[in-house]
């Protein structure tokens, strides 16, 4: 069984959306915490889920961009190529 690049990109974007909506749902629950440390750990986990959501969204878009590089993917990958060029030049 082989996975194509668009399927992997779709899975990553779906995971990103799920994490984002789950984090937003937890924000509306308004829980009561017995201690400050439990509150701090819950907030830290929310930030971690937000970070993982952002990383998986960016990864999914880049996978889609490389899969369709001949048509519209070059527009998505153009900023990455520019950063790589500036890193090589040393600016």
**Cα separation, 39 vs 52, whole angstroms:** 20
Identify the CA nearest to 47 among candidates 26, 17, 29.
26
pLDDT digits (tens, 9 = 90+) for 32-49: 778 888 888 888 888 888
Tell me: pLDDT of 2 over 70.
Answer: no
**Cα separation, 84 vs 78, whole angstroms:** 10
Stated pTM of the model = 0.74
**Cα separation, 89 vs 85, whole angstroms:** 6
pLDDT digits (tens, 9 = 90+) for 49-84: 889 998 998 888 888 888 888 888 888 888 888 888
Residue 1: which pLDDT band, with cuts at 50, 70 and 90? very low
Tell me: pLDDT of 3 over 60.
Answer: no
Q: Which residue has the tokens 């399927």?
A: 7
**Cα separation, 55 vs 49, whole angstroms:** 10
pLDDT of 28 reads: 61
SS3 3: coil
């Amino acid at each position: 069984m082989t996975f194509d690049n668009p399927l992997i990109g779709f899975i990553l974007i779906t995971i990103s959306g799920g994490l984002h909506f789950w984090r937003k749902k937890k924000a509306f629950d308004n829980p009561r915490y017995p201690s400050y440390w439990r509150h701090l750990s819950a907030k830290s986990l929310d930030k971690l889920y937000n970070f993982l959501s952002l990383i998986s969204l960016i990864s999914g878009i880049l996978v889609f961009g490389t899969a369709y590089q001949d048509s519209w993917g070059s527009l998505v990958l153009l900023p990455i190529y520019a950063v790589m060029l500036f890193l090589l030049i040393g600016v």
